Structure 1
Amino acid sequence: MEEISAILQQALSGSEITPDQAVSLLSYQEPTAIAAIKTTADQLRQQQVGDIVTYVVNRNLNFTNICEQHCGFCAFRRDAGSDGAFWLNSEQILEKTADAVSRGATEICMQGGLNPHAKINGGSLAYYLQLVETIKRAFPAVHLHAFSPQEIEFIAREDHLSYEYVLISLRDEGVNSLPGTAAEILDDQVRKIICPEKINSQTWLEIISTAHRLGIPTTSTMLSGHIETPIQQIQHLEKLKRLQQVAQEKDYPASITEFIILPFVGEQAPKALRHRVGRIQPDLKETLRLTAVARIFLGKWIPNHQPSWVKLGLNGATEALQWGCNDLGGTLMEEHITSMAGATGGTCMEIETLQKAIAGIGRAYRQRSTLYEYLEHNWPIYAVHG
């Protein structure tokens, strides 16, 4: 325990731990070591962001599942004209947005498949701008958290445009922030196996950094628990940390707002991948340990950490609040991508359910904006015991 104690004390003292030390933390199997990692992550969470647990009232809006790619873990995509394929029109998008706003949503998270038919006058960007305009014209105050780096690359490739031009166009039309999805694991050897058609690691990093330079905040994610190694997990975290450091060093107007671990759900994945992974649902213990190590390694650079209740279930996500997370995510209202992959956590969470879960571990809760500003009351709501 001497080595692990030294690493953890180093983190608690405010010094950053090295990638090799972070890999070491992921290798310990002894219950006492894992308990110490958990305690340290929880202490760092308290030091860095306090005890209040936040949540956001939002809606997922997947406008199409027609997609040109065939990622090994995706059960969401469809070919045009096949059973289960959908492509929402403007009226349907407005209806879903209006319903979300009527239920208190401050954010619409909009992503979709890479639909090669989604064009206006032969232009992909024109179609995406119309999506944004449809929502923003009717609901200018809603925060539009839209389009992953994969979608940005798709638009640029289809229309022979630069990433910067696409991002500026979307920003000026009303996109407020980008989801940091499609990151999976930022290791190209792994990507060649699980998502060979997706953008490579460098392209994902370039688009995210360009967004920051242009004043567009992003989130960040990691798809964990499949074929990646602990070394590759930490290398992924190191690349995210470096993005934040660059944003700060160059005084960019935006940066990463949060980090989310997305554990692999493989019930609907191809048989070969399911067999290689060896299970179809997330390993909660391993996810929690990675959650703690992510808090310890990322330190001050990305202070907001969020679990996925869709993938872990609400109980698992609530447990993650004691392993370094400070946010319980969003209400979502409608979730397709993970649930179609076989996740059992649900597709919608009521505000009161999130609040009750947070109160159940004796923590205060506050509603937040997408960018982690407190909303509603000017004081935290504490758990009531008795």
Structure 2
Amino acid sequence: MTATHSGTPPSATIDPILERALSGADLSEAEGVTLLRQTDPGAIAALRQAADQLRRQQVGDTVTYVINRNINYTNICEQHCSFCAFRRDADEDGAYWLNEGVILEKAAEAVQQGATEICMQGGLNPEAQIDGRSLPYYVRLINLIKTEFPRLHLHAFSPQEVQFIARQDGLSYAEVIAALQAAGVGSMPGTAAEVLDDDVRKILCPEKITSAEWLEIVATAHQLGMPSTSTMLSGHIETPEQQMRHLGKVRSLQQASLANGHTGITEFILLPFVGQEAPKPLRRRVGRDQPVLADALKLTAVSRLFLGNWIANHQPSWVKLGLAGATAALTWGCNDLGGTLMEEHITTMAGAQGGTCKTAAELQSAIQQLKRPVQQRDTLYQPIGALLIEPASAAPKSGF
């Protein structure tokens, strides 16, 4: 390690924090902020090394992936989030609402390609009703797929969609989640979290659920036996303090769920902001179109150090970072490369350059560049098939 002019290693100020994390201690939010504010290359290298070591201690060297398909069933949405290039009004150019035949066709194509999961989310469309009620429409979507493909895991409907259905129909969150679960939903996407700080949400998504509502809905899902994922939309207007506040709320939620005997959160996914096609006010305020890889990797490392005791699986977004950037994140604390997706609209319409589909072979090849074992998994991280251990010839750079 390179020393400063005074002979002190550049990581000296953070070494005690890193040592605490590696010894199994939970870091404080303030310690996380200290790590995020590091700019010295030597300190950042030490941060990466610690996150990678902790990942190895907590989940080993195997990198997982899932064969899945996204179905974004509509982009018609009543809300107007300042970062969203996906939503449309019903009469606007580019608006769409998939019919049942198209949804079934997409599910069939996914099964033919070996998918074990359908991830289904969409806009908040007030017209998506049956006999004047919203919940029956969503239940029908699930029944449609599960009747034809009963073995598919349906990872469907975000906390925001649950709140929308409950509000439309005058139901409790528990009533909505229980009905979706009975129809065949197996887990809840932890999207719509953005940043769990209401000062940020007032600017990013003032019409969306509050931080407390997001936490309540996800906790309710856990209480009913439905696991979820968790996410953070990063790299826009939020501060390191707000990033750590978000991670603190996610960790507290998971601690409570595990204490009550629930599976809780299965993974944490960092979603760096893509602003190329975002509405102009936020795009101008952020001042760039694509994520800053160095910032995303630093936050990836801190997320592992802060959450790893409670949420073992960490995943980057190859759609947002590109496959090379996401592969680099596997050396910064991540242990999962996500899914094949087969199609993706929300981030791609925002201008992401990572693509919309990766084959299982492409994900396997990216992982094998790191000379680490590869394992296909299902949504709940149960292994599928044989472990692939044949390494590729060379590992990629760590991202800097």
Give the structure-1-normalised TM-score: 0.98
Alpha carbons 1:368, 1:374 under 8 Å: kept: yes
Structure 2: distance between partners of 1:230 and 1:159:
38
Structure 2: distance between partners of 1:206 and 1:236:
14
Shift of 1:299: 2.3
The 5-angstrom pairing of residues 312-331 of structure 1 reads: 312-331=321-340
Is 1:382 the counterpart of 2:390? The answer is yes
Alpha carbons 1:331, 1:349 under 8 Å: kept: yes
Shift of 1:23: 0.5
SS at 1:126's partner residue?
helix
Equivalent residue number for residue 74 of structure 1: 84
The 5-angstrom pairing of residues 1-386 of structure 1 reads: 1-252=11-262, 254-377=263-386, 379-385=387-393
Structure 2: distance between partners of 1:88 and 1:224:
30
Shift of 1:3: 2.6
Structure 1: distance between partners of 2:384 and 2:118:
16
Alpha carbons 2:146, 2:152 under 8 Å: kept: yes
Alpha carbons 2:26, 2:309 under 8 Å: kept: no
Question: Alpha-carbon deviations, 1:142-199, whole Å to 9, x = none?
Answer: 0000000000000000000000000000001100000000000000011010111100
Structure 1: distance between partners of 2:121 and 2:158:
7
SS at 2:190's partner residue?
coil
Q: Which runs of 5+ in 1 are unaligned?
A: none
Equivalent residue number for residue 398 of structure 2: none
Q: Which runs of 5+ in 2 are unaligned?
A: 1-10, 395-400
Amino acid paired to 1:98? A
**Percent identical residues:** 63
Alpha carbons 2:71, 2:120 under 8 Å: kept: yes
Structure 1: distance between partners of 2:67 and 2:375:
11
Structure 1: distance between partners of 2:56 and 2:150:
35
Question: Alpha-carbon deviations, 1:230-278, whole Å to 9, x = none?
Answer: 00000100001001110122223x3000000000001111222112111
Shift of 1:384: 4.2
Shift of 1:329: 0.3
Structure 2: distance between partners of 1:10 and 1:319:
25
Alpha carbons 1:52, 1:380 under 8 Å: kept: no
Structure 2: distance between partners of 1:39 and 1:382:
24
Alpha carbons 1:225, 1:287 under 8 Å: kept: yes
Structure 2: distance between partners of 1:99 and 1:67:
27
Shift of 1:36: 0.2
SS at 2:275's partner residue?
coil
| Superposition misfits of 4+ residues, deviation over 2 angstroms | 379-382
Structure 1: distance between partners of 2:189 and 2:311:
15
Amino acid paired to 2:383? Y
Root mean square deviation of aligned Cα? 0.9
Alpha carbons 1:360, 1:383 under 8 Å: kept: yes
SS at 1:376's partner residue?
strand
Give the structure-2-normalised TM-score: 0.95
